Structure 1
């Protein structure tokens, strides 16, 4: 009888381990699938000296899925945002945020003109196709991120940039849907690099 009890305990333990193993496997597969579903990334990003300060140039590869494409063609405006943070490392404490900037985008479809409108800040431009509007949006050029005297020449700064769909700008019913569906949460990971400002001379 003790032998049967030990055997039963061993079987239950083995079964529990197998269930945990299968569950962990499914979690891993779902995580990989979620990552693979959105291949958005920042292909290139740099901060260079510009007129009166420093500007950002970046190329974004945004994986706009069929759900978002259908939404915008049905009249729902999509909002995107580029977020930039420049920090000064401090060995004795947390990094100091020197610059925090956002650049907002809005893509909408106008059924009467059958055109797509891209708004970047206060600038607006119309396109005949959604692809054309997206290509323009994903090519950031000469974005003024900070004045010249904000960053000290010769000091190393940590820079982080990401680009994402701003679900908080969706109509309220779609915000609820976005919470439960990853189809709406499109965006890149944070791209990080080190920037060393140089001495900028007037031209």
Structure 2
């Protein structure tokens, strides 16, 4: 009985190691985010609060352009974080915000539509819609009194294509495919509240 149990345990351990190795190889072979980058970002005070302005340098590849032209809606997300350094503990997260974009094509009107929340805008070309999406302007992130004037904060911004909102067949296709893995790395910078970047 002990010999049988030992053989069974050794067999399970061998299969577990093989499965773990296969998983590690699969993760290692996943492509990195697309060649996008955030070329400009700033936080500025306004009457209502602090706002983010950013320019994202990113291009849709032919597969995504073809998908949206055939009626598949594409979803993108801009993620933003403000943190304050703390010497005695982890940094304090002051604000976390996400801005969601939906890019779609309407065959009847032959126009591309960019939706940001409840705001919708139509464009004659896909290029014009994408250019508008990649220029974030006056995105309010925190009220003016949420940041202490004269204090330095850390900001981070990232922009990426969200495959989780695609129809299920496209989600399966997107796994491990470089064509469906589009976005930027985090851009980090420090800014002084009450002043410019």
Residue number in structure 2 paired with 1:103: 99
Deviation at 1:149, TM superposition (A): 1.0
Higher helix share: 1
- 2:113 alignment partner, one of 101, 107, 117: 117
The answer as to 2:44 corresponding to 1:48 is yes
Instruction: Give the CA RMSD over aligned residues.
Output: 1.9
Deviation at 1:182, TM superposition (A): 2.1
Q: Map Cα deviations across residues 69-94 of structure 1 (whole Å, 9 max, x no partner).
A: 11101100000011000011111111
- 2:187 alignment partner, one of 164, 172, 191: 191
8 Å CA contact retained: 1:81, 1:164:
yes
Deviation at 1:38, TM superposition (A): 2.6
The answer as to 2:167 corresponding to 1:164 is no
Deviation above 3 Å: which 4+ runs of structure 1?
A: none
Aligned pair count? Answer: 169
Provide the TM-score with structure 2 as the length reference: 0.81
The answer as to 2:136 corresponding to 1:131 is no
Provide the TM-score with structure 1 as the length reference: 0.79
Deviation at 1:176, TM superposition (A): 1.5
**Structure 2 stretches lacking a partner, 5+ long:** 1-24
Considering Cα pairs closer than 8 Å and 6+ residues apart, tell me whether 1 or 2 has the greater RCO.
2
Residue number in structure 2 paired with 1:176: 172
- 1:78 alignment partner, one of 59, 74, 80: 74
Distance 1:38 1:165 in 2: 10
The answer as to 2:52 corresponding to 1:64 is no
**Structure 1 stretches lacking a partner, 5+ long:** 1-26
